[in-house]
Structure 1
Amino acid sequence: MNTIRTFMLLAAMTALFMGLGYLIGGAGGAAIAFLVAAAMNLFAWWNSDKMVLRMYKARRVDETVAPNYVRIVKELARRANMPMPATYIVDNPQPNAFATGRNPEHAAVAATTGLIATLTPEELAGVMAHELTHIKNRDTLIMTVTATIAGAISMLANFALFFGGNRDNGPGIVGTLALAILAPLAAALVQMAISRTREYSADAGGAEISGNPLWLASALERMDAAARRAPNETAEANPATAHMFIVNPLNGRGRDNLFSTHPATENRVSVLRQLAQAMGEAARRPWG
Protein backbone atom coordinates (compact mmCIF):
# COMPACT_ATOMS: atom_id res chain seq x y z
CA MET A 1 0.00 0.00 0.00
CA ASN A 2 2.82 2.43 0.83
CA THR A 3 4.47 1.73 -2.54
CA ILE A 4 1.22 2.37 -4.40
CA ARG A 5 0.67 5.57 -2.46
CA THR A 6 4.22 6.73 -3.21
CA PHE A 7 3.83 6.26 -6.94
CA MET A 8 0.42 7.95 -6.89
CA LEU A 9 2.00 10.96 -5.18
CA LEU A 10 4.88 10.94 -7.67
CA ALA A 11 2.37 10.87 -10.51
CA ALA A 12 0.51 13.80 -8.95
CA MET A 13 3.72 15.81 -8.69
CA THR A 14 4.66 15.02 -12.29
CA ALA A 15 1.18 16.00 -13.48
CA LEU A 16 1.44 19.27 -11.55
CA PHE A 17 4.82 19.96 -13.12
CA MET A 18 3.62 19.21 -16.67
CA GLY A 19 0.41 21.18 -16.17
CA LEU A 20 2.31 24.20 -14.93
CA GLY A 21 4.66 23.99 -17.90
CA TYR A 22 1.73 23.85 -20.31
CA LEU A 23 -0.07 26.80 -18.76
CA ILE A 24 3.10 28.87 -18.88
CA GLY A 25 4.33 28.04 -22.37
CA GLY A 26 1.82 25.78 -24.06
CA ALA A 27 2.82 22.36 -25.40
CA GLY A 28 6.28 23.59 -26.36
CA GLY A 29 6.89 25.08 -22.94
CA ALA A 30 5.82 21.87 -21.24
CA ALA A 31 8.17 19.83 -23.43
CA ILE A 32 11.14 22.11 -22.77
CA ALA A 33 10.44 22.14 -19.04
CA PHE A 34 10.21 18.35 -19.04
CA LEU A 35 13.61 18.03 -20.76
CA VAL A 36 15.19 20.43 -18.27
CA ALA A 37 13.74 18.49 -15.34
CA ALA A 38 14.93 15.21 -16.85
CA ALA A 39 18.47 16.59 -17.10
CA MET A 40 18.26 17.79 -13.49
CA ASN A 41 17.08 14.35 -12.37
CA LEU A 42 19.90 12.63 -14.23
CA PHE A 43 22.49 14.91 -12.65
CA ALA A 44 20.97 14.41 -9.18
CA TRP A 45 20.81 10.63 -9.71
CA TRP A 46 24.55 10.44 -10.32
CA ASN A 47 25.78 13.11 -7.93
CA SER A 48 23.30 13.59 -5.08
CA ASP A 49 25.17 11.29 -2.67
CA LYS A 50 28.48 13.08 -3.17
CA MET A 51 26.83 16.48 -2.83
CA VAL A 52 25.05 15.64 0.43
CA LEU A 53 28.06 13.93 2.03
CA ARG A 54 30.23 16.90 1.11
CA MET A 55 27.62 19.35 2.40
CA TYR A 56 27.66 17.70 5.85
CA LYS A 57 31.45 17.23 5.80
CA ALA A 58 31.01 13.49 6.31
CA ARG A 59 34.18 11.46 6.63
CA ARG A 60 34.39 7.84 5.57
CA VAL A 61 35.36 5.38 8.32
CA ASP A 62 36.21 1.70 8.61
CA GLU A 63 36.54 -0.80 11.45
CA THR A 64 39.89 0.63 12.54
CA VAL A 65 38.31 4.05 13.18
CA ALA A 66 34.77 3.16 14.30
CA PRO A 67 34.75 -0.60 14.94
CA ASN A 68 31.37 -0.99 16.68
CA TYR A 69 29.49 1.23 14.23
CA VAL A 70 30.95 -0.40 11.12
CA ARG A 71 30.51 -3.94 12.44
CA ILE A 72 26.86 -3.28 13.22
CA VAL A 73 26.25 -1.99 9.69
CA LYS A 74 28.11 -4.98 8.22
CA GLU A 75 26.05 -7.49 10.22
CA LEU A 76 22.80 -5.75 9.32
CA ALA A 77 23.73 -5.73 5.63
CA ARG A 78 24.39 -9.46 5.88
CA ARG A 79 21.00 -10.05 7.51
CA ALA A 80 19.31 -7.96 4.83
CA ASN A 81 21.18 -9.81 2.05
CA MET A 82 22.39 -6.58 0.48
CA PRO A 83 25.78 -5.05 -0.34
CA MET A 84 27.68 -3.37 2.47
CA PRO A 85 27.23 0.40 2.06
CA ALA A 86 30.03 2.87 2.60
CA THR A 87 30.02 4.09 6.20
CA TYR A 88 30.44 7.74 7.13
CA ILE A 89 30.47 9.82 10.30
CA VAL A 90 29.27 13.41 10.55
CA ASP A 91 30.76 15.51 13.33
CA ASN A 92 27.57 16.84 14.91
CA PRO A 93 26.28 16.54 18.50
CA GLN A 94 22.68 15.99 17.36
CA PRO A 95 21.95 12.22 17.31
CA ASN A 96 20.79 11.53 13.77
CA ALA A 97 21.52 9.48 10.65
CA PHE A 98 20.75 9.34 6.95
CA ALA A 99 21.29 7.17 3.88
CA THR A 100 22.09 8.24 0.34
CA GLY A 101 23.01 6.75 -3.02
CA ARG A 102 21.33 5.90 -6.31
CA ASN A 103 21.03 2.14 -5.68
CA PRO A 104 22.14 -0.55 -3.18
CA GLU A 105 25.41 -1.05 -5.08
CA HIS A 106 26.31 2.65 -4.80
CA ALA A 107 25.04 3.63 -1.36
CA ALA A 108 26.27 5.14 1.86
CA VAL A 109 25.02 5.52 5.43
CA ALA A 110 26.05 8.34 7.71
CA ALA A 111 25.69 8.62 11.48
CA THR A 112 26.46 11.66 13.57
CA THR A 113 28.96 11.55 16.40
CA GLY A 114 26.05 12.39 18.70
CA LEU A 115 24.18 9.28 17.55
CA ILE A 116 27.11 6.93 18.15
CA ALA A 117 27.86 8.45 21.54
CA THR A 118 24.23 8.52 22.75
CA LEU A 119 22.67 5.21 21.73
CA THR A 120 23.20 1.68 22.99
CA PRO A 121 24.44 -0.91 20.46
CA GLU A 122 20.89 -2.28 20.17
CA GLU A 123 19.41 1.16 19.53
CA LEU A 124 22.17 1.94 17.02
CA ALA A 125 21.37 -1.33 15.24
CA GLY A 126 17.71 -0.32 15.05
CA VAL A 127 18.60 3.05 13.51
CA MET A 128 21.05 1.68 10.96
CA ALA A 129 18.61 -1.09 9.99
CA HIS A 130 16.11 1.68 9.23
CA GLU A 131 18.66 3.38 6.98
CA LEU A 132 19.53 0.14 5.21
CA THR A 133 15.84 -0.34 4.48
CA HIS A 134 15.77 3.06 2.77
CA ILE A 135 18.59 1.85 0.55
CA LYS A 136 17.00 -1.54 -0.09
CA ASN A 137 13.66 0.09 -1.01
CA ARG A 138 15.49 2.64 -3.19
CA ASP A 139 13.91 5.44 -1.17
CA THR A 140 17.07 7.49 -1.62
CA LEU A 141 16.41 7.56 -5.38
CA ILE A 142 12.69 8.30 -4.93
CA MET A 143 13.38 11.23 -2.62
CA THR A 144 16.05 12.58 -4.97
CA VAL A 145 13.55 12.53 -7.83
CA THR A 146 10.80 14.20 -5.81
CA ALA A 147 13.16 16.88 -4.52
CA THR A 148 14.34 17.59 -8.07
CA ILE A 149 10.80 17.78 -9.49
CA ALA A 150 9.80 20.07 -6.63
CA GLY A 151 12.77 22.28 -7.46
CA ALA A 152 11.77 22.33 -11.13
CA ILE A 153 8.21 23.33 -10.21
CA SER A 154 9.53 26.20 -8.10
CA MET A 155 11.75 27.25 -11.03
CA LEU A 156 8.78 27.31 -13.42
CA ALA A 157 6.65 29.15 -10.88
CA ASN A 158 9.31 31.85 -10.52
CA PHE A 159 9.52 32.10 -14.29
CA ALA A 160 5.77 32.60 -14.49
CA LEU A 161 5.85 35.17 -11.71
CA PHE A 162 8.47 37.34 -13.38
CA PHE A 163 7.77 36.81 -17.08
CA GLY A 164 4.07 35.96 -17.24
CA GLY A 165 2.31 32.88 -18.52
CA ASN A 166 1.19 31.60 -21.90
CA ARG A 167 -0.85 34.38 -23.50
CA ASP A 168 -2.78 32.07 -25.83
CA ASN A 169 -3.71 29.26 -23.45
CA GLY A 170 -2.67 30.63 -20.09
CA PRO A 171 -4.89 31.41 -17.10
CA GLY A 172 -4.33 35.16 -17.25
CA ILE A 173 -2.42 37.42 -14.89
CA VAL A 174 -4.43 36.51 -11.80
CA GLY A 175 -4.29 32.81 -12.60
CA THR A 176 -0.57 32.95 -13.30
CA LEU A 177 0.10 34.64 -9.96
CA ALA A 178 -2.02 32.03 -8.20
CA LEU A 179 -0.11 29.22 -9.92
CA ALA A 180 3.22 30.80 -9.05
CA ILE A 181 2.25 30.76 -5.38
CA LEU A 182 0.24 27.55 -5.10
CA ALA A 183 2.24 25.19 -7.35
CA PRO A 184 5.44 25.19 -5.22
CA LEU A 185 3.32 24.82 -2.08
CA ALA A 186 1.47 21.85 -3.55
CA ALA A 187 4.76 20.28 -4.67
CA ALA A 188 6.22 20.70 -1.19
CA LEU A 189 3.17 19.07 0.40
CA VAL A 190 3.41 16.09 -1.96
CA GLN A 191 7.15 15.79 -1.27
CA MET A 192 6.50 15.78 2.48
CA ALA A 193 3.73 13.19 2.11
CA ILE A 194 6.07 10.89 0.18
CA SER A 195 8.77 11.34 2.82
CA ARG A 196 6.40 10.42 5.66
CA THR A 197 5.15 7.36 3.75
CA ARG A 198 8.69 6.09 3.22
CA GLU A 199 9.59 6.65 6.89
CA TYR A 200 6.87 4.30 8.10
CA SER A 201 7.98 1.67 5.56
CA ALA A 202 11.62 2.02 6.65
CA ASP A 203 10.64 1.69 10.32
CA ALA A 204 8.89 -1.61 9.61
CA GLY A 205 11.68 -2.90 7.38
CA GLY A 206 14.35 -1.87 9.85
CA ALA A 207 12.54 -3.66 12.67
CA GLU A 208 12.47 -6.82 10.56
CA ILE A 209 16.19 -6.62 9.73
CA SER A 210 17.33 -5.88 13.31
CA GLY A 211 14.86 -8.38 14.78
CA ASN A 212 13.51 -6.11 17.50
CA PRO A 213 11.17 -3.16 16.82
CA LEU A 214 11.62 -1.88 20.37
CA TRP A 215 15.28 -1.00 19.72
CA LEU A 216 14.26 1.50 17.05
CA ALA A 217 11.32 2.73 19.14
CA SER A 218 13.64 3.50 22.05
CA ALA A 219 16.17 5.16 19.75
CA LEU A 220 13.53 7.38 18.14
CA GLU A 221 12.32 8.65 21.50
CA ARG A 222 15.84 9.51 22.66
CA MET A 223 16.81 11.04 19.32
CA ASP A 224 13.69 13.19 19.04
CA ALA A 225 14.20 14.63 22.52
CA ALA A 226 17.88 15.31 21.86
CA ALA A 227 17.21 16.89 18.43
CA ARG A 228 15.16 19.58 20.15
CA ARG A 229 18.13 20.48 22.36
CA ALA A 230 21.05 20.10 19.93
CA PRO A 231 20.71 22.16 16.73
CA ASN A 232 21.99 20.88 13.40
CA GLU A 233 23.29 24.09 11.87
CA THR A 234 23.98 22.57 8.44
CA ALA A 235 20.44 21.22 8.22
CA GLU A 236 19.03 24.55 9.40
CA ALA A 237 20.93 26.24 6.56
CA ASN A 238 19.78 23.58 4.05
CA PRO A 239 16.22 22.62 5.09
CA ALA A 240 15.62 20.85 1.76
CA THR A 241 17.80 17.99 3.10
CA ALA A 242 15.78 17.54 6.30
CA HIS A 243 13.72 14.67 4.82
CA MET A 244 16.86 12.54 4.53
CA PHE A 245 17.36 12.16 8.28
CA ILE A 246 15.69 9.53 10.43
CA VAL A 247 14.31 12.24 12.76
CA ASN A 248 13.65 15.81 11.77
CA PRO A 249 16.92 17.71 12.28
CA LEU A 250 15.13 21.09 12.40
CA ASN A 251 14.28 22.35 15.87
CA GLY A 252 10.63 22.65 16.87
CA ARG A 253 9.26 20.53 14.01
CA GLY A 254 7.90 17.60 15.98
CA ARG A 255 4.22 17.63 15.04
CA ASP A 256 2.72 15.30 12.44
CA ASN A 257 1.11 17.90 10.16
CA LEU A 258 1.04 18.88 6.50
CA PHE A 259 4.29 20.81 6.81
CA SER A 260 6.32 18.09 8.52
CA THR A 261 8.77 15.94 6.56
CA HIS A 262 8.55 13.20 9.22
CA PRO A 263 5.70 11.46 11.00
CA ALA A 264 5.29 12.38 14.65
CA THR A 265 7.67 10.33 16.77
CA GLU A 266 4.90 9.14 19.10
CA ASN A 267 3.02 7.75 16.10
CA ARG A 268 6.08 5.88 14.84
CA VAL A 269 6.82 4.49 18.29
CA SER A 270 3.23 3.32 18.70
CA VAL A 271 3.37 1.42 15.40
CA LEU A 272 6.68 -0.18 16.35
CA ARG A 273 5.35 -1.32 19.71
CA GLN A 274 2.35 -2.90 18.02
CA LEU A 275 4.74 -4.67 15.66
CA ALA A 276 6.79 -5.94 18.64
CA GLN A 277 3.64 -7.41 20.19
CA ALA A 278 2.84 -9.16 16.93
CA MET A 279 6.37 -10.59 16.74
CA GLY A 280 6.17 -11.94 20.31
CA GLU A 281 9.27 -13.84 21.45
CA ALA A 282 11.13 -13.05 18.24
CA ALA A 283 11.21 -9.38 19.27
CA ARG A 284 13.09 -10.17 22.47
CA ARG A 285 16.18 -11.73 20.96
CA PRO A 286 19.42 -10.04 22.04
CA TRP A 287 21.70 -8.28 19.56
CA GLY A 288 24.69 -10.12 18.21
Structure 2
Amino acid sequence: MRNIVRHSPSTGNGSPDVWGVYEADTGSIQYIVADPETREAALIDVVQNFDPRSARTDFSSADQVMALAKEQGLKITWVLDTHPHADHLMASCYLKQQTQAPNAIGDKVSEIAELWSEYYNLPDTFKPEDDFDYLFKEGDSFKLGKLEVNVWLSPGHTLGSITYLVGDAAFVHDTFMYPDSGTSRADFPGGSSAELWTTLKRILTLPDETRLFIGHDYGKDGREPRWEATVAEHKRENIHLAGDVSESEYRKRRDERDATLALPDRMLHALQVNLRAGKLPEPEADGHRYFKIPANKF
Protein backbone atom coordinates (compact mmCIF):
# COMPACT_ATOMS: atom_id res chain seq x y z
CA MET A 1 0.00 0.00 0.00
CA ARG A 2 1.30 3.43 -0.93
CA ASN A 3 1.76 5.94 1.85
CA ILE A 4 -0.76 8.78 2.32
CA VAL A 5 0.22 11.97 0.47
CA ARG A 6 -1.19 15.47 1.07
CA HIS A 7 -0.31 18.77 -0.59
CA SER A 8 -0.28 22.05 1.34
CA PRO A 9 -0.14 24.68 -1.42
CA SER A 10 1.78 27.91 -1.34
CA THR A 11 -0.23 30.77 0.15
CA GLY A 12 1.42 33.43 -2.00
CA ASN A 13 4.66 35.30 -2.51
CA GLY A 14 7.50 33.84 -0.43
CA SER A 15 5.44 30.82 0.64
CA PRO A 16 6.52 27.28 -0.32
CA ASP A 17 4.57 24.34 -1.62
CA VAL A 18 4.69 21.44 0.84
CA TRP A 19 3.89 17.78 0.35
CA GLY A 20 3.65 15.46 3.34
CA VAL A 21 4.09 11.73 2.79
CA TYR A 22 2.95 9.57 5.71
CA GLU A 23 4.97 6.44 6.53
CA ALA A 24 2.52 4.23 8.37
CA ASP A 25 4.92 1.73 9.99
CA THR A 26 6.53 4.41 12.16
CA GLY A 27 3.89 7.15 12.03
CA SER A 28 6.51 9.41 10.42
CA ILE A 29 5.83 12.27 8.04
CA GLN A 30 8.31 12.85 5.24
CA TYR A 31 8.30 16.22 3.51
CA ILE A 32 8.98 17.81 0.17
CA VAL A 33 9.20 21.62 0.37
CA ALA A 34 9.53 23.54 -2.88
CA ASP A 35 9.90 27.03 -4.28
CA PRO A 36 6.84 27.40 -6.55
CA GLU A 37 8.74 29.71 -8.90
CA THR A 38 11.99 27.83 -9.51
CA ARG A 39 10.67 24.31 -8.67
CA GLU A 40 13.74 23.65 -6.54
CA ALA A 41 12.90 21.36 -3.64
CA ALA A 42 14.26 19.95 -0.39
CA LEU A 43 13.46 16.58 1.13
CA ILE A 44 13.06 16.54 4.92
CA ASP A 45 13.17 13.55 7.29
CA VAL A 46 12.72 10.84 4.68
CA VAL A 47 12.52 7.27 6.00
CA GLN A 48 14.68 4.25 5.25
CA ASN A 49 12.29 1.36 5.75
CA PHE A 50 13.24 -1.22 8.37
CA ASP A 51 11.61 -4.42 9.59
CA PRO A 52 12.70 -4.94 13.24
CA ARG A 53 11.68 -8.62 13.08
CA SER A 54 14.11 -9.50 10.31
CA ALA A 55 16.46 -6.48 10.42
CA ARG A 56 15.80 -6.02 6.70
CA THR A 57 16.03 -2.56 5.17
CA ASP A 58 14.78 -1.04 1.91
CA PHE A 59 14.16 2.36 0.34
CA SER A 60 10.59 2.01 -0.89
CA SER A 61 9.41 5.11 1.00
CA ALA A 62 12.35 7.20 -0.19
CA ASP A 63 11.71 6.04 -3.75
CA GLN A 64 8.05 7.07 -3.43
CA VAL A 65 9.08 10.53 -2.22
CA MET A 66 11.49 10.96 -5.12
CA ALA A 67 8.85 9.74 -7.59
CA LEU A 68 6.41 12.32 -6.22
CA ALA A 69 9.00 15.07 -6.66
CA LYS A 70 9.57 13.97 -10.25
CA GLU A 71 5.81 13.82 -10.89
CA GLN A 72 5.54 17.42 -9.68
CA GLY A 73 8.40 18.59 -11.89
CA LEU A 74 10.68 19.39 -8.97
CA LYS A 75 14.47 19.43 -8.83
CA ILE A 76 15.80 18.16 -5.50
CA THR A 77 18.59 20.46 -4.32
CA TRP A 78 18.75 19.61 -0.59
CA VAL A 79 18.44 16.46 1.54
CA LEU A 80 17.65 17.55 5.11
CA ASP A 81 17.07 15.94 8.48
CA THR A 82 15.97 17.65 11.66
CA HIS A 83 17.73 15.28 14.10
CA PRO A 84 19.08 11.72 14.44
CA HIS A 85 15.73 9.95 14.68
CA ALA A 86 15.08 7.30 17.32
CA ASP A 87 12.03 5.72 15.71
CA HIS A 88 13.11 5.30 12.11
CA LEU A 89 16.22 4.91 10.01
CA MET A 90 16.98 7.92 7.84
CA ALA A 91 17.52 7.77 4.08
CA SER A 92 19.92 10.72 3.84
CA CYS A 93 22.93 8.98 2.30
CA TYR A 94 20.80 7.08 -0.22
CA LEU A 95 18.98 10.24 -1.28
CA LYS A 96 22.26 12.10 -1.66
CA GLN A 97 23.53 9.36 -3.95
CA GLN A 98 20.33 9.31 -5.99
CA THR A 99 19.91 13.08 -6.38
CA GLN A 100 23.48 14.43 -6.10
CA ALA A 101 22.05 17.02 -3.68
CA PRO A 102 23.98 17.90 -0.49
CA ASN A 103 22.72 16.48 2.79
CA ALA A 104 22.51 18.32 6.10
CA ILE A 105 21.55 18.11 9.77
CA GLY A 106 22.21 20.21 12.91
CA ASP A 107 25.79 20.67 14.13
CA LYS A 108 25.06 19.35 17.60
CA VAL A 109 24.74 15.90 16.05
CA SER A 110 28.45 15.67 16.89
CA GLU A 111 27.60 15.85 20.61
CA ILE A 112 24.89 13.25 20.14
CA ALA A 113 27.43 11.04 18.37
CA GLU A 114 29.79 11.29 21.32
CA LEU A 115 26.99 10.34 23.70
CA TRP A 116 25.91 7.30 21.69
CA SER A 117 29.42 6.09 20.94
CA GLU A 118 29.63 5.35 24.66
CA TYR A 119 26.29 3.51 24.74
CA TYR A 120 27.36 1.34 21.81
CA ASN A 121 31.02 1.12 22.89
CA LEU A 122 31.96 2.16 19.37
CA PRO A 123 34.67 4.82 19.77
CA ASP A 124 35.64 6.71 16.62
CA THR A 125 32.78 5.15 14.64
CA PHE A 126 30.41 8.09 14.26
CA LYS A 127 31.84 11.05 12.36
CA PRO A 128 28.93 13.25 11.24
CA GLU A 129 31.29 15.78 9.69
CA ASP A 130 32.27 13.09 7.16
CA ASP A 131 28.77 11.80 6.43
CA PHE A 132 26.88 15.12 6.13
CA ASP A 133 27.84 17.93 3.79
CA TYR A 134 26.47 20.63 6.11
CA LEU A 135 26.10 20.75 9.88
CA PHE A 136 23.81 23.71 10.50
CA LYS A 137 23.94 25.79 13.66
CA GLU A 138 21.49 28.23 15.22
CA GLY A 139 20.96 31.23 12.97
CA ASP A 140 22.29 29.69 9.77
CA SER A 141 20.39 30.23 6.52
CA PHE A 142 20.54 28.93 2.97
CA LYS A 143 18.63 29.24 -0.29
CA LEU A 144 15.98 26.93 -1.69
CA GLY A 145 15.46 28.41 -5.13
CA LYS A 146 14.57 32.03 -4.36
CA LEU A 147 13.28 31.18 -0.88
CA GLU A 148 15.40 31.64 2.23
CA VAL A 149 15.52 28.80 4.74
CA ASN A 150 16.40 29.76 8.32
CA VAL A 151 17.64 27.31 10.93
CA TRP A 152 16.67 27.34 14.59
CA LEU A 153 18.24 25.11 17.20
CA SER A 154 15.22 23.42 18.82
CA PRO A 155 16.43 21.11 21.61
CA GLY A 156 14.32 19.11 24.02
CA HIS A 157 13.42 15.93 22.17
CA THR A 158 17.14 15.63 21.44
CA LEU A 159 19.91 18.04 22.34
CA GLY A 160 20.59 18.76 18.67
CA SER A 161 17.19 19.00 16.98
CA ILE A 162 16.74 21.84 14.49
CA THR A 163 13.74 23.53 12.87
CA TYR A 164 13.68 24.66 9.24
CA LEU A 165 11.73 27.89 8.61
CA VAL A 166 10.71 28.53 4.99
CA GLY A 167 8.40 31.50 4.52
CA ASP A 168 5.13 30.67 6.30
CA ALA A 169 6.11 27.01 6.77
CA ALA A 170 8.03 25.61 9.76
CA PHE A 171 9.21 22.02 9.94
CA VAL A 172 9.10 21.46 13.68
CA HIS A 173 9.84 17.71 13.80
CA ASP A 174 9.48 16.04 17.23
CA THR A 175 8.46 19.11 19.24
CA PHE A 176 4.73 19.47 18.68
CA MET A 177 2.39 16.65 17.87
CA TYR A 178 -0.97 17.38 16.23
CA PRO A 179 -2.97 19.64 18.63
CA ASP A 180 -5.16 16.78 19.92
CA SER A 181 -2.02 14.82 20.86
CA GLY A 182 0.01 17.59 22.50
CA THR A 183 3.79 17.50 22.30
CA SER A 184 6.64 15.04 21.85
CA ARG A 185 8.58 13.08 24.46
CA ALA A 186 11.79 14.46 25.97
CA ASP A 187 13.27 11.49 27.83
CA PHE A 188 15.82 10.14 25.34
CA PRO A 189 19.54 10.58 26.20
CA GLY A 190 20.29 14.28 25.86
CA GLY A 191 16.59 15.20 25.95
CA SER A 192 15.08 17.68 28.39
CA SER A 193 11.51 18.75 29.13
CA ALA A 194 12.85 22.16 30.23
CA GLU A 195 14.55 22.70 26.88
CA LEU A 196 11.51 21.34 25.04
CA TRP A 197 9.29 23.88 26.83
CA THR A 198 11.59 26.72 25.71
CA THR A 199 11.57 25.38 22.15
CA LEU A 200 7.78 25.09 22.04
CA LYS A 201 7.28 28.62 23.36
CA ARG A 202 9.76 30.00 20.83
CA ILE A 203 7.97 28.32 17.93
CA LEU A 204 4.70 29.81 19.15
CA THR A 205 6.19 33.31 18.70
CA LEU A 206 5.96 32.79 14.93
CA PRO A 207 3.06 34.56 13.18
CA ASP A 208 -0.30 32.94 13.87
CA GLU A 209 -0.78 31.93 10.24
CA THR A 210 2.52 29.98 10.12
CA ARG A 211 1.97 26.37 9.07
CA LEU A 212 3.65 23.98 11.51
CA PHE A 213 4.59 20.60 10.03
CA ILE A 214 5.25 17.95 12.67
CA GLY A 215 7.35 14.78 12.62
CA HIS A 216 4.86 12.13 13.71
CA ASP A 217 1.19 11.31 14.06
CA TYR A 218 -0.49 8.09 15.15
CA GLY A 219 -4.10 8.68 14.18
CA LYS A 220 -5.46 9.41 17.67
CA ASP A 221 -8.78 7.66 18.42
CA GLY A 222 -8.84 6.20 14.92
CA ARG A 223 -8.87 9.48 12.99
CA GLU A 224 -6.96 9.94 9.75
CA PRO A 225 -3.29 10.88 10.25
CA ARG A 226 -2.78 14.66 10.40
CA TRP A 227 0.41 16.68 10.44
CA GLU A 228 -0.33 20.32 9.65
CA ALA A 229 -1.78 22.97 11.97
CA THR A 230 -1.12 26.69 12.33
CA VAL A 231 0.50 28.47 15.24
CA ALA A 232 -2.93 29.91 16.08
CA GLU A 233 -4.48 26.43 16.16
CA HIS A 234 -1.77 25.15 18.52
CA LYS A 235 -2.20 28.15 20.82
CA ARG A 236 -5.93 27.53 20.93
CA GLU A 237 -6.19 23.74 20.83
CA ASN A 238 -2.95 21.98 21.80
CA ILE A 239 -3.87 19.78 24.76
CA HIS A 240 -0.52 20.33 26.51
CA LEU A 241 -0.22 24.09 25.96
CA ALA A 242 -3.61 25.72 25.42
CA GLY A 243 -4.74 28.08 28.16
CA ASP A 244 -2.59 29.48 30.93
CA VAL A 245 -0.24 26.49 31.36
CA SER A 246 2.90 27.19 33.39
CA GLU A 247 6.30 25.70 32.70
CA SER A 248 6.21 23.67 35.90
CA GLU A 249 2.77 22.26 35.04
CA TYR A 250 3.88 21.37 31.55
CA ARG A 251 7.13 19.73 32.66
CA LYS A 252 5.39 17.70 35.37
CA ARG A 253 2.87 16.38 32.87
CA ARG A 254 5.53 15.71 30.21
CA ASP A 255 7.95 13.96 32.59
CA GLU A 256 5.23 11.81 34.16
CA ARG A 257 3.99 10.75 30.74
CA ASP A 258 7.50 10.02 29.47
CA ALA A 259 8.20 7.78 32.47
CA THR A 260 5.49 5.40 31.23
CA LEU A 261 6.78 5.12 27.65
CA ALA A 262 8.85 2.24 26.30
CA LEU A 263 11.73 2.83 23.93
CA PRO A 264 10.73 2.85 20.25
CA ASP A 265 11.22 -0.62 18.82
CA ARG A 266 13.72 0.66 16.22
CA MET A 267 15.70 2.99 18.47
CA LEU A 268 18.79 0.90 19.19
CA HIS A 269 19.07 -0.05 15.54
CA ALA A 270 18.32 3.47 14.29
CA LEU A 271 20.83 5.58 16.18
CA GLN A 272 23.88 3.66 14.96
CA VAL A 273 22.63 4.17 11.39
CA ASN A 274 21.36 7.74 11.65
CA LEU A 275 24.57 9.03 13.19
CA ARG A 276 26.14 7.91 9.89
CA ALA A 277 23.53 9.69 7.70
CA GLY A 278 21.59 6.47 7.15
CA LYS A 279 24.53 4.23 6.26
CA LEU A 280 24.38 0.71 7.67
CA PRO A 281 27.36 -0.61 9.67
CA GLU A 282 30.35 -1.54 7.55
CA PRO A 283 30.44 -5.10 6.14
CA GLU A 284 32.35 -7.67 8.15
CA ALA A 285 34.62 -10.43 6.81
CA ASP A 286 31.69 -12.47 5.48
CA GLY A 287 30.36 -9.50 3.50
CA HIS A 288 27.31 -8.98 5.73
CA ARG A 289 26.47 -5.99 7.91
CA TYR A 290 25.59 -6.39 11.58
CA PHE A 291 23.84 -4.16 14.08
CA LYS A 292 25.33 -3.81 17.56
CA ILE A 293 22.68 -3.70 20.29
CA PRO A 294 23.62 -2.88 23.90
CA ALA A 295 22.08 -5.23 26.45
CA ASN A 296 20.67 -4.05 29.80
CA LYS A 297 21.66 -0.40 29.32
CA PHE A 298 18.10 0.94 29.03
TM-score by length of 2: 0.29
- Report the structure, 1 or 2, having the larger helix content: 1
- Report the structure, 1 or 2, having the larger strand content: 2
Q: Highest CA radius of gyration, 1 or 2?
A: 1
TM-score by length of 1: 0.30
